[in-house]
Structure 1
Amino acid sequence: VDAVVRACEAAVARAGYAVSRVHRATGDGDAARPDRAEAVFVVGGLVCAACPPRIVRALGLTAGVLEVAVEVLLERVRVAYDPARLGAQDIARKLRKLGYEAEVEGAASASDRALAGEKARRLAREAEVRRYGREALLALVLALPIFVVVMLLKPYGPRGVVLALEANVLGSRRRYLAAEALGSLLLATPIQFWLGARFYAGAVKALRRGSATMDTLVALGTSAAYGYSCYALGAASHNRPCCRSHRTCAMDGHCFHGHHYFETSALLIAFVLLGKYLEARAKGKTSRALRALLELQPARAVVLCDDQAETVDAAALRRGDVCLVAPGLAVPADGVVVRGASTVDESMLTGEARPVPKSADPERNAVYGGTVNLGPGALRVQVVAVGAGPRGNQPACRAR
């Protein structure tokens, strides 16, 4: 197994991506140990690919933390820890110190907890999509006029339009400010400091943690363009009348011929917001697909004990339990068929609608939680994995 993992890591590294190994909890067998507990945290603020490795690294250095798994699409962090050394709230505080919004997920059954958390995240993501959509639209409305004027009308427009754009709005022979420069400043400022405020906030949080994120890059790049543009306007305001249109003159050494870059900062923020809007929409679609998979998990299971059938909560299943799966019912947990023969619909995992034969034959005895017994016979399935273990009865985990 280690050789396969190392080969996968090497393949990902060759593709140009950073890779770090994330260890998962090992199921209910380990969770029953007195020196091991597991908690799931709903985490907000996972803004880029650098966040999961940072969380794994920071929590991994915390005394008492045993294993960490970051589920980016579901915005969850699963942590196995030693309850004698720290608690779930200590881990939540550590996540908040890293700059993320973190809360311990509720203590309902695993299925109910996952569905409730997914519903809350879906509502939050829908609000996030609407917010990013509004901000991206407003940023584009403000930035596109700057782009049209600076990149199209000023260099290629009719002479009368160019002269109007270069007209001095101060009406003074000693001070100069072009009409297009003033308009660009007025349009770019709300984009930079209102719509772009989230990037400054994210950059400050990253700076406090001694790290850098995409917010840091956006804040630095746009601030450099905006700051230089303001300097260029101030320097050009002292130009002599003969060179106020940024053309050379006899007194060239006394004139400033730099250009402003308000369109660069404005368009960069607008396109980043547009990208975040598209990313939030894509996450929303993935979230709905994962929720549909979670809803396939049966809430109840029929357990055989001394050949007596008993209906129990599927979340209470343990390894070694033998379940009876009648035709038309879903398999409650990952397991192996110990008696019976039938066909199973595994389209939720493979996308193939063709029924898969299952029996006690070792080559075809593996079944997975959420798949449906199509008949004609009933199956007796011995549970081999429940909760969030290596296979875990979690189709959403397999989908990730």
Structure 2
Amino acid sequence: METTATQESKQTTLQITGMTCAACANRIEKGLSKMPGVTNASVNFAMETARVEYSAGEVSIEDMQNKVKQLGYKAITNQENEDAGHHREHEVRLQKRKLLISAILSFPLLWSMVAHFSFTSWIYMPEVLMNPWFQLILATPVQFYVGRQFYVGAYKALRNGSANMDVLVSLGTSAAYFYSLYLTINWAVQGASAHHGPSLYYETSAILITLVILGKLFESLAKGRTSEAIKSLMGLQAKTALVVRDGQELTIP
């Protein structure tokens, strides 16, 4: 937290975690700006920071943190940064693990989809890949374990009367998954064969989640490099100046 005081106002910088898109930054910025005592709030999505000008007598940093928490995110001060310093590294490791799990489970579904076209009929495809129950087993962990973060983000956004990318991903993948689940149950009730089933869309939801997770991993890596580059650039700022006063050279901050 960097806090500077002027005559009646203060300025602080908070680290924001949990943002997934620019809409999240806009929502936090609007929420902070509407707080009594806050004169200006600016949220930088790339740097994951919020710079707030406020009147200390009307609002506190704890109030701002509670407001950000109410919106579904987390605001961290530099005093807490010792615990939050590895948040970005943890996020990258988490996205890598989820991407690996999602890719492994989605590949057989992608295989069954590609081999299903007439012009790719020459590709060998194990019979089990067309079994609806097998596809359901593969798609379910991707939908509800790997994709859980999208449901959580969508819930937080809708609870606050707004929408973001998580809402779109949740709606799109849920439509494909639950429609396929309905077809699978209907196929089983009708006593169909053990292998061949209806046209399903499990691969649509699983592959979409995999690609979005891949994008979020790239985003986390890019944010880390950008943040470090900006910090390095700021470190190049001159700390002192050489001035001439009354014929004498002086070094001042």
TM-score, normalization by structure 1: 0.55
The one-letter code sitting in structure 1 at the alignment partner of 2:142 is I
Match of 1:360 in 2: none
Task: Name the SS of the counterpart of 2:22 in structure 1.
Answer: coil
Flag the structure with larger Rg: 1
The alignment status of 1:129 with 2:102, answered yes or no, reads no
Residue 214 (structure 2) aligned to one of 256, 274, 283? 274
Task: Name the SS of the counterpart of 2:189 in structure 1.
Answer: coil
Match of 1:196 in 2: 147
Rounded Cα–Cα distance in structure 1 between residues aligned with 2:56 and 2:192: 76
Match of 1:58 in 2: 31
More helix by share: 2
Please list the CA deviations of residues 45-82 of structure 1 after superposition, one character each: whole Å capped at 9, or x if unmatched.
Answer: 12101122212222222111101111222211111112
Task: Name the SS of the counterpart of 2:131 in structure 1.
Answer: helix
Please report how far the alpha carbon of residue 299 of structure 1 lies from its aligned counterpart in structure 2 after TM superposition: 4.5
Match of 1:149 in 2: 112
Please list the CA deviations of residues 84-140 of structure 1 after superposition, one character each: whole Å capped at 9, or x if unmatched.
Answer: 211121112111111111123359xxxxxxxx89xx65x432332232122112211
Would the aligned equivalents of 1:129 and 1:277 in 2 still touch at CA under 8 Å?
A: yes
Equivalent residues in 2 for 1:172-321, closer than 5 Å: 180-239=131-190, 245=196, 258-299=198-239
Task: Name the SS of the counterpart of 1:70 in structure 2.
Answer: strand
Task: Name the SS of the counterpart of 1:50 in structure 2.
Answer: helix
Match of 1:5 in 2: none
| Identical aligned residues as a percent | 37
Note the aligned Cα RMSD (angstroms): 3.3
If asked which structure has higher relative contact order (CA below 8 Å, sep 6+), I would say 2
Rounded Cα–Cα distance in structure 1 between residues aligned with 2:192 and 2:104: 33
Please list the CA deviations of residues 332-376 of structure 1 after superposition, one character each: whole Å capped at 9, or x if unmatched.
Answer: 6xxxxxxxxxxxxxxxxxxxxxxxxxxxxxxxxxxxxxxxxxxxx
**5+ residue gaps in structure 1?**
1-27, 108-115, 167-178, 247-257, 312-322, 324-331, 333-400
Rounded Cα–Cα distance in structure 2 between residues aligned with 1:81 and 1:138: 45
Would the aligned equivalents of 2:11 and 2:51 in 1 still touch at CA under 8 Å?
A: yes
TM-score, normalization by structure 2: 0.84
The one-letter code sitting in structure 1 at the alignment partner of 2:222 is A
The one-letter code sitting in structure 2 at the alignment partner of 1:297 is Q
Rounded Cα–Cα distance in structure 2 between residues aligned with 1:213 and 1:88: 26
- The change in CA–CA distance for 1:131 and 1:161 in structure 2 (over 3 A counts) is closer
**5+ residue gaps in structure 2?**
none
Match of 1:100 in 2: 73
